[in-house]
Structure 1
């Protein structure tokens, strides 16, 4: 709140140099979490810091904790980290979570149903850890371990025919452990990971699940996330951001809950305008563009305008034949001046669906 009050009464340029930022900055916001299918409460904790005094040679690190609860009995406790060591020599990306997460299913593939087919209830433990080493400049290579444990799986359906979940699982509702190693290529030239104004981000992960690593089933996946940021002003916040995201599984049969789905990328940021899990199949392609600008001269209040289009493949062919667009807008309130963190309020709408999201960082 101190940063907010200072922003109201003290007018400054909206583009802030990294070297002026404090070593540690902490932000907190409790807020309603409203979506088209469920509503609840989300509490966002964001801590940014530098692992060395020289901010020119060592980039910003981040730890994000966003516990949520919903009116439909969902409980999620995720911790996500993105940490650079001194001089960016090593990078540690973590995703750890415990979830009690009943969710609606809408079928598989691009022709999924408008209304839910069933509700699948389960508990999930996730442990993802990547370690990458600087190779040259902003490019790095790394290795990771990824584990997803699903327990107490059950399905409740009101329709008279078998659901896509039941058909895909062949009636098997037993616990599932998916675990394996992943190879990573990473390029990240952003200076501020909460609110980027320039640079590129590219991540490619190749995951191999095998009984050698404790997995119940064998399958592989590829996860590609590419982003570009362009600023139109050196003093004002006028940024065009674009993202292309691709996620696919192959060479085996993963559990239904391991299939690529809208809203289930690592940070849960794909699919503004869509209920999470609305579309699911063995591959997902997602494209998004957003324009970010100031409303007030001092940058205390800003706005974003975005559009996205996505498609999940036909389950048997991996072909993308159905594309679904969404558009939306959002309000930005400067929440922490030290790390340029914004309170983000986003409303997105698509055909027969909508979302309202609250967070303490830009969507990508």
Structure 2
């Protein structure tokens, strides 16, 4: 309990400002991939047609080797304003279907939308997944070797709606629905796996439905590639059913802070603190907090997704972002993170897992400041390679 109190103090220390924070958008990023295409085909194309519009699109089809599973990701990012840009924050919708050579098929749509003058905010997470994944056990029982491959199909519908209270403070509700089907397991160990023991050998379909109370603070001007401001989300979820019909609750807290060190160049220090726990019942194994399974799927660079799982997860990450070229076309990031899952069925965080890494940035669309993102992270006995069109957080 004493350790938990110290961690909570450290969590909020992360949110304290300690340097100059820029509030104006950096305006010297003058070159992106669309400019390159325009230069090549400027007489016959319309790449830069309508640059004064409020909508910006980015498209990225590319083969990758992510988290040791080769495949293809096609990422669509759309950003837009539903009101005056001076009084309305940027909205975005992403669709990033992923196909792997290990028979993973993921169709996710995520939305973060502000209505005119920021009166309402809507956060959505909708997905269909056919997702065989390696499992490594629960809590302190996890090992460096796979325990089993857990195969399942998942439908998800998460929808949050918050109303502005005052300034950047908001409050609202969310509906959260997960459905798991066709669950099966291929074991690689002698004896029962942690999944089998936790679920009492139950592989039947499961539906998790819950209602969440959400508090939100968001002072970022650009949520695709933030340069300043703070983001704090706190969700309290009440779930209607769980293993053996037992109801359960969860807490989900995501806090992010950004500092800009220059008005002329992109030099940003960003850091994040994340806490996710379940209590008061018995969630399905796939509903337990796990690294890489936050709502955006962005925690745990340097680790295989699903590498650590328990009833509680604590995660810290810091990143420095910088321009390499004066026109902002080339950039780089350097990051480090450390995480811990609790000893199972407790809130004791005794084992910590650090990772470090670096990444390359290529300006994809200067209108919404989106980048082609390529990050490589490494940790003890593990690594990851991730690619996308928006910053990790």
Work out whether the TM-score is over 0.5. Answer: yes
The residue aligned with 2:48 is none
Distance in 1 between residues matched to 2:155 and 2:295, nearest whole Å: 14
The residue aligned with 1:12 is none
Distance in 2 between residues matched to 1:21 and 1:32, nearest whole Å: 32
Contact 1:178 1:217 in 2 (8 A): no
The residue aligned with 2:326 is 297
The residue aligned with 2:76 is 45
The residue aligned with 2:118 is 88
1:153-206 Cα offsets, whole Å, 9 max, x none, are 011113111111111111011111000100000000000000000000000000
The residue aligned with 2:279 is 250
SS at match of 1:332: strand
1:227-258 Cα offsets, whole Å, 9 max, x none, are 00000001100000000000000100001000
Which of residues 160, 171, 175 in structure 1 aligns to 2:190?
A: 160
The residue aligned with 2:221 is 191
Q: How does 1:179-218 map to 2 (within 5 A)?
A: 179-210=209-240, 217-218=246-247
The residue aligned with 1:350 is 379
Cα distance 1:308–1:2, how it changes in 2: closer, same or farther (>3 A)? closer
Distance in 1 between residues matched to 2:132 and 2:88, nearest whole Å: 41
Distance in 2 between residues matched to 1:285 and 1:119, nearest whole Å: 25
Q: How does 1:218-229 map to 2 (within 5 A)?
A: 218-229=247-258
Distance in 2 between residues matched to 1:153 and 1:61, nearest whole Å: 36
Which of residues 165, 171, 187 in structure 2 aligns to 1:135?
A: 165
Contact 1:36 1:353 in 2 (8 A): no
Contact 2:33 2:363 in 1 (8 A): no
Cα distance 1:119–1:2, how it changes in 2: closer, same or farther (>3 A)? closer
With normalisation by structure 1, the TM-score equals 0.93
The residue aligned with 2:65 is 34
What are structure 1's unaligned runs of at least 5 residues? Answer: 10-19
The Cα of 1:89 is off from its aligned counterpart by 0.1
The Cα of 1:33 is off from its aligned counterpart by 3.1
Which of residues 76, 101, 118 in structure 1 aligns to 2:106?
A: 76
What are structure 2's unaligned runs of at least 5 residues? Answer: 1-31, 41-50
The Cα of 1:217 is off from its aligned counterpart by 4.2
SS at match of 1:228: strand
The Cα of 1:73 is off from its aligned counterpart by 0.4
Question: What value does the CA root-mean-square deviation take over the aligned residues?
Answer: 1.7
Distance in 1 between residues matched to 2:140 and 2:379, nearest whole Å: 15
Distance in 2 between residues matched to 1:178 and 1:44, nearest whole Å: 28
With normalisation by structure 2, the TM-score equals 0.87
The residue aligned with 1:16 is none
Contact 1:21 1:339 in 2 (8 A): no
Which of residues 129, 152, 177 in structure 1 aligns to 2:207?
A: 177
1:21-63 Cα offsets, whole Å, 9 max, x none, are 74000000012232343221111100000001x1010110000
The Cα of 1:316 is off from its aligned counterpart by 2.3
SS at match of 2:197: helix
Distance in 2 between residues matched to 1:201 and 1:21, nearest whole Å: 28
The residue aligned with 2:144 is 114
Contact 1:8 1:300 in 2 (8 A): no
After the TM superposition, list the runs of 4 or more consecutive aligned residues in structure 1 that deviate by more than 4 angstroms: 6-9
1:322 pairs with 2:351: yes
Contact 1:207 1:220 in 2 (8 A): yes
SS at match of 2:283: coil
Contact 2:67 2:386 in 1 (8 A): no
Contact 1:45 1:64 in 2 (8 A): yes
Distance in 2 between residues matched to 1:8 and 1:112, nearest whole Å: 53
Q: How does 1:231-242 map to 2 (within 5 A)?
A: 231-242=260-271
